[in-house]
């Protein structure tokens, strides 16, 4: 799957973004501002932004919008979804804590998307979070395990 094919198929407008790891989607103009795509990480960020255009939600303060965009991306990329993309997704979603992950349900929804991505990437290529606990002090504690643990 090439980025330009997705852009044509979904009628997205594209603009070049000079910053390497920054991409944005503008729903009103169906425009994705993206750096050049040289590999899986840039493709992951680009297709994720497309997910915002194709599965938009009104409330930008909730994690649901991000999760829908990542799920849409995994569906579009299919077998192309890789361990590197999985790692990028997990790293990006963790930046929303605690701003958008406000409840235990939000945390469970995020974990479900992690699990979906890990399964799609394959167990040998993906490091995934197998267990999450909420500590007694209310702080989230993450136990990360690889497929080899």
120 touches 80 (CB < 8 A): no
3-state secondary structure of 119: helix
Beta bridge partners of residue 24, listed in sequence order: 33
The model carries a pTM of 0.76
Predicted pLDDT at 63: 87
Backbone torsions φ then ψ of 11, nearest 5 degrees: 55, 50
CA angle in degrees (0–180, nearest 5) for 45-51-52: 100
- The model's pLDDT over 5-64, given as tens digits with 9 standing for 90+, comes to 999 999 999 999 988 778 899 989 999 999 999 888 889 999 999 999 998 775 566 788
144 touches 132 (CB < 8 A): no
What is the residue extent of each domain of the chain?
Answer: 3-146
Reading the block at residue 128, the tokens are 């995934």
- The model's pLDDT over 49-90, given as tens digits with 9 standing for 90+, comes to 999 999 877 556 678 889 999 999 999 999 899 999 999 999
Beta bridge partners of residue 128, listed in sequence order: 145
What angle separates helix 40-54 from helix 3-10, to the nearest 10 degrees?
10
- The model's pLDDT over 71-82, given as tens digits with 9 standing for 90+, comes to 999 999 998 999
Reading the block at residue 11, the tokens are 């009628």
């Amino acid at each position: 799957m090439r980025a330009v094919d997705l852009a044509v198929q979904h009628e997205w407008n594209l603009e070049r973004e000079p910053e390497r790891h920054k991409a944005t989607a503008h729903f009103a103009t169906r425009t994705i501002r993206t750096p050049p795509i040289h590999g899986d990480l840039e493709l992951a960020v680009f297709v994720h932004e497309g997910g915002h255009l194709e599965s938009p939600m009104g409330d930008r303060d909730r994690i649901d919008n991000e999760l829908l965009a990542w799920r849409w991306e995994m569906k579009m990329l299919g077998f192309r979804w890789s361990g590197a993309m999985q790692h990028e997704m997990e790293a990006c979603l963790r930046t929303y804590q605690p701003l958008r992950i406000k409840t235990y349900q939000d945390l469970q929804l995020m974990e479900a998307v992690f699990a979906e991505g890990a399964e799609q990437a394959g167990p040998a290529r993906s490091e995934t979070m197998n267990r999450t606990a909420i500590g007694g002090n209310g702080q989230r504690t993450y136990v990360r395990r690889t497929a080899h643990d």
